[in-house]
Amino acid sequence: MNHDTPTPSGTKDVVSSHSVFGAPCWVSLTSRDVKATEEFYGAVLGWQWRPAKLGDRFRIALADGSPVAGIAGVATMWQMAVAWTPYFAVRSADDAAARVQERMGTVAVGPISLPPGRAALLADRDGATFGIWEGDLFTDWETWRNAQPAFITLHTRDAFDAAIFYGEVLDWASERPGCCEVHYEGGEVVLRSRGDVVARIESGALGAAPDPTIRPHWQVHFTVDDVEACTRAAELHGGSVLSKGSDEAVLRDHDGAQFTVTARRER
């Protein structure tokens, strides 16, 4: 979802979803309370904030002045789950949503018009939630992409089956110029856009598992300098630690949204 309106034409190059179709283009958190969310992620990840042009319920998170993610305080109003969601660029939100339904996925919201584009919230056939965006990307999107402050991993039942689903919905590995490339490496699926790794898909999730951390889901990772400091801050500010290793920790924020912090390294 594009939380921000790009700079008017002529002042800065505007990137369209048509030119990077199939690639992740943003991550967004649906929350209940924008102020509490700002306080939590400011303490844990050091983010600053700026208003988004969609309204008072929306914010853009900044790391060192660059956009990182969007916050939408609409969970209660729209009766949506509190969760981090990746969004993928598409040529047509309507066509992509129709493909999801044709392949036994779910269209939860939309497609709806959010000028300057259209968005939809969807789920694949194993229940993992994701979004799509058609239209101009936010100002400084190339900075976000090049800095790679966030990356995503799909934990799913069968990585190869999931790759087929997303490939057909998002035009991965198609004959269209500029499409994302799909590679199978070490038992997982690796998605590349313009040569850069932008997502990974791995098998092993259990659809009926009572623990949501092992059900099929897209996991959003944020790169940080100090994983241990982030875990301490999360616990001090009402969050919890679901698992922790030497260079990575899975956290839950004050509102229940799950995310991962990963030590900064070359991917």
Residue 161 confidence (pLDDT): 94
Q: Which residue has the higher pLDDT, 120 or 196?
A: 120
Given strand 24-30, what is the order of strands in its sheet?
48-52, 55-63, 66-72, 24-30, 83-89, 129-135, 117-123, 106-114
7 in any annotated domain: no
What value does the mean pLDDT take over residues 45-59?
84
9 in any annotated domain: no
What value does the mean pLDDT take over residues 192-220?
83
What value does the mean pLDDT take over residues 15-37?
84
Number of domains observed in the structure of the chain: 1
What value does the mean pLDDT take over residues 85-108?
95
4 in any annotated domain: no
Of 46-55, 220-229, 256-265, the one with minimum mean pLDDT is 46-55
CA distance 205 to 181: 24
Report residue 68's pLDDT band, with 50, 70 and 90 as the boundaries: confident
Of 57-61, 91-95, 103-107, 208-212, the one with minimum mean pLDDT is 208-212
92: pLDDT strictly greater than 90: yes
The parent domain of residue 86 ranges over 17-263
Q: Which residue has the higher pLDDT, 52 or 119?
A: 119
Residue 266 confidence (pLDDT): 53
12 in any annotated domain: no
- H/E/C letters for each residue in the chain? CCCCCCCCCCCCCCCECCCCCCCEEEEEEECCCHHHHHHHHHHHHCCEEEEECCEEEEEEEEECCEEEEEEECCCCCCCCCCEEEEEEECCCHHHHHHHHHHCCCEEEEEEEEECCEEEEEEECCCCCEEEEEEEECCCCHHHHHHHCCEEEEEECCCHHHHHHHHHHHHCCCCCCCCCCEEEEECCEEEEEECCEEEEEEECCCCCCCCCHHHCCEEEEEEEECCHHHHHHHHHHCCCEEEEECCCEEEEECCCCCEEEEEECCCC
Of 9-18, 235-244, 257-266, the one with minimum mean pLDDT is 9-18
CATH number of the domain that residue 206 is part of: 3.10.180.10
Residue 163 confidence (pLDDT): 94
Q: Write down the pTM of the prediction.
A: 0.88
2 in any annotated domain: no
